[in-house]
Amino acid sequence: MCELIYPEDMSSKAFSSVWLREPRKATSPGRSREEIVRAAIELLQEEGLAGLSMRKLGARLSAGATSLYWYVANKDELLELAYDEVWGEMTVPDPEEVGWRDSASALAHSMRQVILRHPWSADLIGRLPALGPNALRVTDRMRRMFKVAGFEGPDIDFANATLTAYVFGMTIPEIAWNTATRNSAYDADQMRDMVRNAAAEFPDVLESLDLDIYTDPQAIRELCFDFGLTSMLDGLGRRLAA
């Protein structure tokens, strides 16, 4: 998780975060930072990151864009707030009750589903610091999870980073594919024929095209994710045993 709390691109400029200052109080009845964040998330769900602007958000709230800057200094601060709401949807079962592996597996599946529900959040991973209360709650529970497993010192954070890197590495390309095919007439059989023609000289690739399991792309994504997750947790378990 360390790469989320301290994004690399922060090193070249003065570090700032909405979480490092006290929130300003509402200037009018019925309006709050929470209300603004909810409206921003609605806009992000509908139009993605490219569709979010202070002007559009102000129009949705029947307020001028300038008035929104009382609550957030800039658009990045607004995105930090929205990003933390996404972390709030993730679940981490108590490892002392279910065991560290079941806790890690449940979190990984939960994290993947949450990101898939909020595809815009994938573009914020590593770009914005995860310093909000929800993100820190997940981080804290993950550290507890790997402590229960038996990791010590910096290996706890390394195990955290390994788990999150796996989830992000599997989920972000899935979001990219979903986005690319959302408004196109995707035909699985046609795509399979195209790959078969392109891979005519690669027999091992052709072999996978004829497996019945690949007739349901969504099912294979789930199976592939679970296969890799189990293998990754096996690796962490063997490292502990060693």
In whole angstroms, what is the distance from residue 113 CA to residue 171 CA? 9
The predicted pLDDT at position 28 comes to 58
How much is the average pLDDT of 26-36? 72
pLDDT in tens, 154-180: 999 999 999 999 999 999 999 998 888
pTM across the whole model: 0.84
How much is the average pLDDT of 130-154? 96
In whole angstroms, what is the distance from residue 51 CA to residue 35 CA? 18
- Residue 239: which pLDDT band, with cuts at 50, 70 and 90? very high
How much is the average pLDDT of 176-203? 80
In the predicted model, what is the mean pLDDT of the chain?
Answer: 87
Domains of the chain: 1-184 (1.10.357.10)
In whole angstroms, what is the distance from residue 63 CA to residue 72 CA? 14
In whole angstroms, what is the distance from residue 14 CA to residue 164 CA? 26
Q: One-letter amino acid identity for 56?
A: K
Q: By C-alpha distance, which of 83, 89, 90, 63 is closest to 19?
A: 83
Half-sphere exposure of residue 202: CA atoms within 13 angstroms, side-chain side: 9
Inter-axis angle of helices 154-181 and 217-241, to 10 degrees? 170
pLDDT in tens, 44-88: 999 999 999 999 998 898 877 677 877 888 899 999 999 999 999
- Residue 212: which pLDDT band, with cuts at 50, 70 and 90? low
Q: For residue 225, give the H/E element and its range.
A: helix 217-241
**Do residues 85 and 134 touch, judged by C-beta distance below 8 A?**
yes
Half-sphere exposure of residue 21: CA atoms within 13 angstroms, side-chain side: 13
